[in-house]
Amino acid sequence: MQVLDFTTGIDCGVRGNLKQFSPTGFSPVADQLSTWSIDSLAEISFRLPPLRHDLRISSLVAPFLVEEAWLTKQDCWVYLNGLFVYFSSITEACEISFAVSREMISPRVNRLSFVMPNATAPKELNRGEDIRKLGLAFTRVAAAQV
């Protein structure tokens, strides 16, 4: 299992290192700068070095929206190792950021889960032939001790 480096983080673009973190629910093909979630659940797994302080996790995301239809926001629930840590209704490209206690971090494998119940296929909204359930485009995931 890949160690999440505090300096480099996870780059989700075409030349990035997302695939090293056992992603599920992400497109197998990245865009130049980002990778779309393609289901209502997207997850990455990672290890961390021993921590002396709590952790701040952040992610740069952009939502799939079709305002002419009903899709005006992407709700996103975030879980770390199955425990709820963050919620946001995302209406524009932004950074989501949240702190987690170092006691929540496993010395082995950690699983960061993004649950997006509004993920929708463009085809369902008559916006092309894409049948992937798009939720958020992830550009970067990073962590730092606080």
3-state helix, strand, coil split of the chain in percent (to 5) is 10, 45, 45
CB 113 within 8 A of CB 138: no
CB 70 within 8 A of CB 111: no
pLDDT of the residue at 135: 98
Looking up tokens 């950074």 gives 95
Helices (H), the chain: none
Q: Which domains does the chain have, with CATH numbers?
A: 10-145 (2.60.120.260)
- Tens-binned pLDDT, residue by residue, of the chain (146 aa): 799 999 999 999 999 999 999 999 999 999 999 999 999 999 999 999 888 999 999 999 999 999 888 899 999 999 999 999 999 999 999 999 999 999 999 989 999 999 999 999 999 999 999 999 999 999 999 999 99
